[in-house]
Amino acid sequence: MGILIKNGEIITASDRFVADVYCEEGRISAVAPGLEKQRADDTVIDASGQIILPGGVDAHVHMELPFMGTESSDDFETGTAAGVAGGTTTIIDFVIPSRGQHLLDGYAMWMEKAKKSVSDYAFHMAVTWFSDRTLTEMETCVRDHGITSFKTFMAYRGAIGIEDPELIQVMEKSATLGSLVTVHAEHGDAVVALQKKFLREGKTEPKYHAMSRPAPVEGEATARAIMLARMMGNPVYIVHVTCKEAVDAIVEARTRGQVVMAETCPQYLLLDDSVYEKPDFEGAAYVMSPPIRPKGHQDALWAAVAAGHIQTVATDHCPFNQVGQKDMGKDNFARIPNGAAGIENRLGLLWTAGVVEGRFDVHKFVDLFATQPAKIFGLYPRKGAVVPGADADIVVFDPHATDVISAKTHHHRCDRSIFEGFQVKGKPSHVIVNGRVQFKEGKLDVQRGAGRYLPRQIHTFPKPVQS
Ligand code: DUC
Ligand code: ZN
Ligand code: ZN
Ligand code: ZN
């Protein structure tokens, strides 16, 4: 049986037009006005007055990630299901091998965990330490498993972070493979020094997490990563950009013609560091790295998004419960597990704050939400597009509906929402995943294990204009 979506307005990264969409066998087979049912048992969705969007691609999530003595609280099933409820139908998670674990062993472990996903998934490979196998295993990742991007952490030294000489090696190898290096940019040594200083002074509350990772920590590392990529001749993608200092480094490089891409997240666009002043340890819910920034940085991020210097908005979804996880750091901010939930909220927040509030147009929205992440990470046009031949991952979006975000009603397996009480305008009425309606009028109907692993293509980036 197929699905026929009638009379919706299709919005893509470049166009908008009213047409019908027919899906069969998991794919979009036709996009045209006046389509008819093909079979008696076809499902027909009347999308009059609604918008048709490609399913969202969240290029930065961490399901069941072992981290800081615990594990992120959404597994691949609950986390991808929450994504579907929020119009995200593809995730790119990270294989993060522990020290001593080889890349391909990490890959096997993550493949096993991710089998329960309800929607499709891909992986970035984090290089967290070096062995004599690392470089050849990077080749295997790209050639045999379609893992065409590598993640590096300039922070978290001694755990998953690497040193500059190792980052340079990853860049050198990646340049020969045509893959993309992505960077978590924070100056690891500076963070450790500031953490120690605050703890020595008896400053243990959540707000000192943010104060131990101020904007210059990120600005310095972002600029350094960009310069290293320039020297080694690599394109580079900076994950979760939060501050003006990092934006300045990115804009400077892009203006010179260097191929630098950047991602930010709704929490960095919409929250400011007053969240760390909440009483009763509630500030811990906002402990993530990089932290939420003081007022002012958000405007710099919006401007960079509008100008195209930041190309994607992902979530860094990495939930931890306040009770039983965040409270591990009750007496020491450095022990609060870093991360928060967000995969379900990206669509509503970005549409509301971006389109409804007039910061950018609908096409930019689709680009940030689905098309650019799919392109940059080698999933386009199978993902990120409403065209014949693409996977049938579609959001039927009601722009008139409203919603209030709350931990009481979200699908994240997490006891807090960092967006508690946020009002959003627009909400999916139907979410189609791989040709099946998996969310309809507020209710999920997902299938554990229905998601498939997505090997990714190599995306060819333009050559730098000048280097
Ligand atoms: N930052 C977080 O807040 N959580 C997971 C990893 C990261 O870089
Ligand atoms: Zn990170
Ligand atoms: Zn992350
Ligand atoms: Zn409506």
Mean pLDDT of 74-101: 98
> What are the structural domains of the chain?
3-54+389-413+427-444 (2.30.40.10), 56-376 (3.20.20.140)
**pLDDT at residue number 309:** 98
What average pLDDT does the chain have? 97
Token digits of residue 151: 């993640």
pLDDT of amino acid 157: 83
CA of 288 to the centre of ligand 1 (A): 6
d(CA 248, CA 216): 11
The answer, yes or no, to whether residue 467 has pLDDT greater than 90, is no
- Kindly state the average pLDDT of the residues 409-435: 98
Q: Residue for token digits 């703890």?
A: 199
Confidence check: pLDDT of 97 > 60: yes
CA of 179 to the centre of ligand 4 (A): 42
Distance CA 271, CA 294 (A): 9
Whether 351 and 84 have beta carbons less than 8 Å apart is answered as: no
DSSP H helix total and E strand total for the chain: 13, 19
**Sign of torsion, CA 188 261 247 224?**
positive
Half-sphere exposure of 43 (CA within 13 A, CB side): 14
Over residues 188-204, the pLDDT tens digits come to 999 999 999 999 999 99
Would you call 442 helix, strand, or coil by DSSP?
coil
Q: For residue 30, what are its two tokens? A: 């036709």
Tokens describing residue 241: 């950009």
Query: With b meaning 16 or more CB within 10 Å and e meaning fewer, what string describes 64-87?
Result: bbebbeebbbbbbbbbbbbbbbbb
Q: What is the pLDDT of residues 334-391, one digit of tens each?
A: 999 999 999 999 999 999 999 999 999 999 999 999 999 999 999 999 999 999 999 9
* C-alpha span between 133 and 140 (Å, rounded): 11
Atom of ligand 1 nearest to the CA of 67: 5
DSSP state of 460: P
Ligand 1 atom index nearest CA of 338: 3
Q: Which residues neighbour 202 within 8 Å (Cβ) at sequence distance 6 or greater?
A: none
Question: How many whole angstroms separate alpha carbon 252 and alpha carbon 258?
Answer: 9
Sign, Cα dihedral of 310, 313, 316, 320: positive
CA of 397 to the centre of ligand 4 (A): 9
Taking a C-beta distance cutoff of 8 angstroms, is the pair 167, 157 a contact?
no
Ligand lying closest to the C-alpha of residue 239: 2
Q: What is the pLDDT of residues 321-337, one digit of tens each?
A: 999 999 999 999 999 99
Neighbours of ion ligand 2 (CB under 5 A): 184
pLDDT value at 466 more than 80:
no
> Residue 171: how many CA atoms within 13 Å on its side-chain side?
23
Across 142-167, average pLDDT: 96
Residue with tokens 């579907």: 84
Read off the pLDDT of each residue in 297-312 and give the average, rounded to a whole number: 98
User: Are 63 and 30 a contacting pair, CB within 8 Å?
Assistant: no
- Let me know: does 116 contact 448? Beta carbons within 8 Å: yes
What percent of the chain is helix, strand and coil (3-state, nearest 5)? 35, 25, 40
pLDDT digits (tens, 9 = 90+) for 171-189: 999 999 999 999 999 999 9
Q: Which amino acid is at 67?
A: F
Other CB atoms within 10 A of residue 287 CB:
26
Nearest CA to ligand 1 atom 4: 339
Query: H or E stretch including 20?
Result: strand 16-24
Band of residue 9 on the pLDDT scale cut at 50, 70, 90: very high
* The two structure tokens encoding residue 65: 């990630």
Instruction: Kindly state the average pLDDT of the residues 45-55.
Output: 98
* Cβ-based neighbour number of residue 450 at 10 Å: 16
Which residues are 264's β-sheet partners? Answer: 313
> Do 368 and 350 form a contact (C-beta atoms < 8 A)?
yes
Question: For residues 467 and 455, what is the distance between their CA atoms, to the nearest angstrom?
Answer: 31
Mutate to test the pocket of ligand 1, among 60, 61, 62, 182 (most ligand atoms within 8 A of CB): 62
The Cα 463–Cα 467 span in angstroms is: 10
Q: Which atom of ligand 1 is nearest to the CA of 62?
A: 5
Q: How far is the CA of 152 from the centre of ligand 2 (A)?
A: 9
Q: Give residue 237 CA to ligand 1 midpoint distance, Å.
A: 16
Residue-level pLDDT at 462: 86
Ligand 1, residues at Cβ distance < 6 Å = 62, 184, 288-289, 316, 318, 338-339
- Which residue has its alpha carbon closest to ligand 1 atom 7? 289
Say how many Å lie between the CA of residue 155 and the centre of ligand 2: 8
pTM, rounded to two decimals? 0.98
Residue nearest to atom 5 of ligand 1 (CA): 339
Residues whose beta carbons lie less than 5 angstroms from ion ligand 3: 316
One-letter amino acid at 41 equals D
DSSP line for 33-92: TT---SSTT-EEEE-TT-EEEEPEEEEEE-SS-EETTEE-S--HHHHHHHHHHTTEEEEE
CA of 39 to the centre of ligand 3 (A): 44
